[in-house]
Amino acid sequence: MSDLRLDGKVAVVTGSGRGLGRAYALALAAAGSAVVVNDVDAQAAGETTEAIRTAGGRALAHVAPVGDSPTAEALVQAAVREFGRLDVMVTNAGVLRDKVLWKMSDEDFDLVVHTHLRGTFTCARAAAIQMREQGEGGSIIVVGSPAGQFGNFGQTNYAAAKAGIVAFARTWAMELGRSRITVNAIVPTAWTRMTASIPLYAPLADRVAAGEPLPTDVRRDHAIGMPEDCAPLVVFLASDAAREVTGQAIGIGGDKLTLYRHPAEEAVEYCDGGWTASAIAQAWNAKLESHRQRSGVELPPLELEPQSAE
């Protein structure tokens, strides 16, 4: 489909030296876009940039941590200076500092929120300013997580930031609609170094390292594939095929594609004249308890067949 090609477009992908970000950058370049590759690791950024160029694409490395406005503005300026414009901003960069609430320090909280939430805000703002000046629309793709949709044990900072990022997308889609700039949140799940460290997936680590494909139930029921499995969603959202898609949270991983619904009222009760604590207790037990929502990501058990002997 020609409307899925990105020839002539220019993208910035933050945190694209490794993992999911690298997969996004490579896929955008393969579809025809020039790419500004951002990472805090100069070697990783250089390797992604070189991989794009070796494949015949156009890429520029920009090494800097996202969060503050000068980095966001420099990334946009680099795209315009090197390639003449900016059409796509993918705010992928992030860090983890997982701890339970009572052990999480101010520094743990601030670093994760600064990188994910503030970094998404500053990069999206810089991109929106440039795209509005160009007057030809554009795509802003922000990155959420199942932790932000459902909560996750030990991830106060990360879950809060990722939930906020999805709220960004819904808000900015309204604000930027007249400028023909789409804003969507992706919720990717993939096999990464972090996934490999989860105890549930420990039995798979050696198999994946040896090049074995992930089992079908992992790809479908757990929505876990390789980073490359998530990249087509970014290409779609950056393309003209998705010019009417905005304000959505879309999950992808392995063989699974998900459209998340917006938060909605699950159940409603009324009390003439207002509520008392006693009336609330009665209404809860009689009507609302059955609608109570669970917290946390729920996954089916993982049953692996034994590895065949060599």
Catalytic residues: 145, 158, 162
252 bridge partner residues? 188, 257
Taking the alpha carbons at both ends of the chain, their separation in whole angstroms is: 44
CA atoms lying within 13 Å on the CB side of residue 145: 26
Task: Enumerate residues 6+ apart whose C-beta is below 8 A from 81.
Answer: none
Q: Which residues of 170-184 are buried (b: 16+ CB within 10 A; e: fewer)?
A: bebbeebeebebbbb
CA-closest candidate to residue 67, choices 44, 93, 87 = 93
Tokens representing residue 283 in the block: 């209404």
CA gap 72, 69 in Å, rounded: 5
- What number of residues does the chain have? 310
Question: How many C-beta atoms surround the C-beta of residue 84 within 10 A?
Answer: 11
CA gap 130, 142 in Å, rounded: 17
CA gap 24, 145 in Å, rounded: 16
Are the beta carbons of 142 and 120 closer than 8 angstroms? yes
Three-class SS of residue 227?
A: helix
Task: Enumerate residues 6+ apart whose C-beta is below 8 A from 268.
Answer: none
